């Protein structure tokens, strides 16, 4: 059975990765010498920077090979690299926990993200925020379990990404549901494809995750899926997401300066609109915006 589920997940992943990509051309950026001077000399000398991602998180990251991604984050990475005058090389690891552990061990230079900005994650990294997000549910067509808000998960079986902020919020709600006599089953997955497959195959009543990727998944299977409890707090305050880099470093400042240039010249908006992320845009990027 487990092998069968792996096979189904692979098929789903392949179908998502082969979905038509947006061919809109993003303008090439010019090297900004002031920003380049902020990039650590070791990175400038080798000519590239290693950016890690935690697997497919469409439409931000869509992994199409071990070191190849597309999506809004990939487009931003190209533009940031052009401003810095270095190549951005991608490395995919399995899940957010593995990505953060590898980053902490110094195997990667940065991540374009977007990764949820929460104060308890800032011991060794800073967030360069460029996204505002909501957390919602992908559900079966017609929303048969009538999930209208986070409180409606009591008694249900809900999928979530392992080690992320949504998992923490969902597990806290599950404790409240247990105390009220309505146990909630929390299914934690290492990747988005496995979680959305659980909903499509009716092994989960919903998938609690970022609204932007859920909107993407629903758009790929509108006959099977719906979006529920959208544009609501659902256990969160303001949610900011961004790139990550070692805290209080010139590299962090170089990434911020690059994003500021992309906002000012309109490239950021062009990339976000290309991938249907207009509702997730920030007026300007910033460091550690979440409170």
Give 83's contacts (C-beta < 8 A, 6+ positions apart): 29, 30, 31, 32, 35, 36, 257, 258, 261, 262
Domain boundary pick from 228, 249, 275 = 228
Q: Do 105 and 57 reside in the same domain of the chain?
A: yes
Is residue 282 a part of any domain in this protein?
yes
Higher pLDDT, 17 or 222: 222
Indicate whether 78 belongs to any domain: yes
DSSP state letter for 230 = T
Residue 28 domain-assigned (yes or no): yes
Residues 116 and 14 in one domain: yes
| Domain's final residue, options 183, 198, 228 | 228
Q: Number of H helices and number of E strands within the chain?
A: 10, 13
Predicted confidence at residue 250, as pLDDT, reads 96
Mean pLDDT score, 243-268? 97
Radius of gyration over alpha carbons of the chain, in Å? 19
- Dist CA 198 CA 187 (whole Å): 9
210 plus 281 within the same structural domain: no
Q: Is 97 a residue whose pLDDT tops 70?
A: yes
For residues 98 and 15, membership in a common domain is answered with yes
Same domain, 77 and 182: no
Q: Give me the pLDDT at residue 22, please.
A: 57
Are 118 and 158 within one domain? no
Residues 119 and 23 both lie in one domain:
yes
- Choose one of 189, 210, 228: the last residue of a domain: 228
Neighbours of 291 (CB within 10 A): 8
The pLDDT score that the predictor gives to residue 16 is: 43
Q: What is the b/e burial string over 76-108, where b = at least 16 CB atoms within 10 angstroms of the residue's CB?
A: bbbbbbbbbbbebbbbbbebbebbbebbeeeeb
Token output for 196: 């959305």
102-111, 139-148, 235-244, 269-278: range with highest mean pLDDT: 139-148
Identify whether 148 is part of a domain. Answer: yes
Percent of the chain whose predicted confidence (pLDDT) is above 70: 92
**Tally of domains within the chain:** 2
- For residue 41, tell me if it sits in a domain: yes
- 115 and 30 within one domain: yes
| Residue 177 is assigned to a structural domain of this protein | yes
Same domain, 126 and 139: no
Q: What is the pLDDT of residues 27-86, one digit of tens each?
A: 999 999 999 999 999 999 999 999 999 888 889 999 998 789 999 999 999 999 999 999
- The neighbouring-strand residues paired with 206 are 139, 158
Same domain, yes or no, for 119 and 165? no
Q: Which residues contact 162 (CB under 8 A, 6 or more apart)?
A: 95, 96, 97, 188, 189, 190
C-alpha closest to that of 108 among 129, 124, 132, 131: 124
Answer yes or no: do 183 and 108 share one domain: no
The answer to the question of residue 233 being in a domain is: no
Please indicate, yes or no, whether residues 159 and 216 belong to a single structural domain of this protein: yes
Q: What is the domain-level CATH number for residue 199?
A: 3.40.190.10
Residue 127, domain extent: 2-133+238-287
């Amino acid at each position: 059975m487990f092998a069968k589920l792996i096979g189904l997940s692979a098929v789903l992943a392949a179908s998502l990765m082969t979905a038509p990509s947006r061919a809109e051309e993003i303008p090439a950026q010019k090297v900004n010498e002031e920003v380049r001077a902020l990039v650590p000399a070791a990175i400038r000398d080798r000519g590239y920077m290693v950016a890690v991602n935690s697997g497919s998180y469409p439409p931000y990251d869509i992994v199409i090979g071990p070191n190849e991604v597309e999506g809004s984050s990939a487009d931003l990475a190209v533009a940031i690299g052009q401003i810095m005058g270095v190549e951005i090389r991608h490395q995919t690891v399995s899940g957010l926990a593995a990505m953060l552990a590898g980053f902490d061990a110094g195997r990667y230079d940065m991540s374009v993200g977007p990764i949820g900005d929460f104060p308890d994650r800032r011991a060794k990294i800073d967030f360069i925020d460029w996204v505002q997000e909501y957390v919602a549910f992908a559900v079966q067509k017609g929303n048969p379990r009538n999930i209208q808000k986070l409180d409606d998960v009591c008694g249900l079986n809900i999928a979530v990404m392992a080690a992320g902020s949504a998992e923490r919020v969902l597990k806290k709600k599950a404790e409240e549901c247990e105390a009220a006599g309505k146990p909630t089953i929390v299914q934690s997955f290492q990747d988005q494809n496995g979680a959305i497959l659980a909903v499509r195959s009716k092994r989960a009543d919903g998938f609690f995750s970022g609204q932007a990727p859920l909107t993407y998944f629903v758009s790929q299977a509108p006959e099977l899926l719906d979006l529920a409890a959208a544009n609501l707090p659902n256990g969160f305050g303001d949610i900011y997401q961004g790139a990550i880099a070692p805290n209080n470093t010139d590299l962090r400042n170089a990434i911020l300066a690059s994003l500021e240039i992309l906002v000012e010249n309109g490239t950021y908006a062009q990339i976000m609109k290309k991938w249907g992320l207009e509702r997730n845009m920030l007026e300007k990027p910033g460091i550690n915006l979440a409170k």
